[in-house]
Structures are given as structure tokens and as C-alpha cells.
Structure 1
């Protein structure tokens, strides 16, 4: 689950299946009673229909928690982080970062750092499209050491410079 809308949908599915819960957060549900195998399977099928997945093995759950922490840090925070990403993730999940990194890489095929970079670039694209901040402000907000570093990373990931990406948006507007 990556949005608050997902939380609402999951709560509704739990209610429909008469599954009592004490807490629903991004990526996790705390049930207040033991659920039956049929309830669990029904929940799995209902969530799958709406594009969500029920995770019940420890590695998948841990990876989902890592992803949620990265998403919260990048997409839901207005200020640059006060500690580095690895420390924050390790602190929030209560595991050594090396362990988290190894599990994530083993299952996802990319490193946590690459996942962070991809998410930061998605955030840069979003901010460029909304035209709210200039590149200097974006680089500060996303904790880049410089605009040049942000631009180089953006080009590596997208194949475009940030200014060309922004011009493409303006060209699309003119065409429409």
C-alpha cells in the first residue's frame, strides 16, 4: 500500500469480510482476531482484483516496509532528511542496514540505493511538471549535494536533462 486511499480500500475489504482489525497502516494490517484460511484467501483475491497484494512471507513484508519508508521519506516529506537514508531505514525497521540491503537486493534485483534514486528522480519529475520549484530548490529539498549532481543523476535515469524534460512539458501544452 502506498497511499492513504489504499488504506481506505483495505479497511473496506476487511469490513466486508468481517475481519476485525486494530490498525491499518501503509503496507501493514494488524488484525485483532485470528482469521480463517478462507477469510485470508478471500482477502487475497479481493485485494488482487484492485491491484494490491497480500504479503505473508517475512522477506516480502520486510521489502514492502523498506519501500514504504523510502516513499514516505521522498514523496511525503517537505524537508530534506536530517539523517541519511540508510540510518533512517535501519532505525525505523529495527534491523542492521547491511541485512536490509542484502535482503532487498536478493529479492528485488536492485539495491536500496538504486530504489531511492529512482524515487528521487520520480519526485524531481513531479516537481518539474508542477513548476512550483526551480532546480536549485528541488536539489535542496531532495538532499542533492548540488544542482549538477541532480542533473547528472536525472540524465542517467531518464536519458534527458531536467531542462529538456521541462521543455517537453511546455511543448505538449502548446500542441494541445
Structure 2
């Protein structure tokens, strides 16, 4: 789950099956231990129908938590634009960063750093489409050291300059869960 609408959909699917979760947050929902196998099977089917999956593999759970933490910091946390994701992930998941990095790369076939860059570029695209901030304000807010660094990374990932993307009207944006 990567957005508030995702949380709402998951809550609705749980309600349909009369399952009362302890909590539902980005990327995670805790359901009661007394949930029946039939309810779980139906929940699995219903969630798959709306593009989600139940994760029972601990490795997948860790990766989903890592993705959620990264998305939260990149897209929703304006307080600190200079994120040290190795520290953030290690502290939040109580695991050594080298383990998390190797696990992420093995399962996702992309490094955490590349995933963070892709998320940052999607955030920059969003801010460009909103057209409320200058490119230097976007660079600062996104944690880039300069407009040149942001522009170079943006072009490397998208093949376009930020100004060209802005002129196109944001037609190349991707959903966060597809990054």
C-alpha cells in the first residue's frame, strides 16, 4: 500500500469479510489471530483483484516495510529533506543496513539507492506538474545539492530535462507502486 486510497481499499476489503484489523497503515495491516483460513483465502483473492497481495514471507514483509519507509520520507516528509536512508531503515527495522541492502537487491533486482532515486524523481515530477515551486526550490525540497544535480539525475532517469517534462504536462508519471 503506497497511498491513503490504498489504505481505504484494504480497510473496505477487510470490512466486507468482517475482519477487524488492529491497524492499517501504509504497507501493513495487522489482522486478528482468529481470522479463519477461509477468510484469509477470500481476502487474498479480493486483494489480488484490486492489485494487492498478502505477504506471509518475512523477506517480502521486510522489503515492503522498506519501500513504505522510503515512500513516506520522499513523498510525505517535508520536515527533513536530507535523508540518510541507511540510518533510517536500519533504525526502523532494527537490522544491519548491509543485510537490508543485500536483501532488497536480491529480491527486487534494484539497489535501495536506485529505488530512492526513482522515488525522488517521481516526487520531482509531481512538483513540476503542480507548477508551484521553482526548480531550485524543488531541488532543495527534494534533498538535491543543486539544480544541476537534480537536472542531471532527472535526465538520466527520464530521458528528459525537467523543463521539457513540465512542458509535456506530466504525461510520463508512474504510480508509486510501479516504481
TM-score where L is the length of structure 1: 0.90
1:59 aligns with 2:62: no
For structure 1, the 5+ residue unaligned runs are 171-176
For structure 2, the 5+ residue unaligned runs are 171-179
CA distance in 2, matches of 1:142, 1:159: 19
**What per-residue deviation string (whole Å, max 9, x for no partner) do you get for residues 29-73 of structure 1?**
112333222111100000011111111101111111011011100
Q: CA deviation at 1:115?
A: 0.3
1:100 aligns with 2:94: no
User: 4+ residue runs of structure 1 moved beyond 3 angstroms?
Assistant: 79-83
**What per-residue deviation string (whole Å, max 9, x for no partner) do you get for residues 91-148 of structure 1?**
1121111111111000000000000000100111111111011111111111111111
1:123 aligns with 2:115: no
CA distance in 1, matches of 2:91, 2:81: 13
CA RMSD of aligned residues (A): 1.5
1:22-171 maps to which residues of 2 (within 5 A)?
A: 22-81=22-81, 83-169=83-169
Partner of 1:5: 5
Of 1-10 and 112-121, the range deviating more from structure 2: 1-10
Number of paired residues?
Answer: 170
TM-score where L is the length of structure 2: 0.89
Q: CA deviation at 1:83?
A: 4.6
Q: CA deviation at 1:81?
A: 3.6
CA distance in 2, matches of 1:3, 1:165: 24
Of 57-66 and 75-84, the range deviating more from structure 2: 75-84
Q: Tell me which structure has the larger Cα radius of gyration.
A: 1
SS in 1 for 2:148: helix
Q: CA deviation at 1:11?
A: 1.6
SS in 2 for 1:24: strand
- Higher RCO structure (Cα 8 Å, ≥6 apart): 2
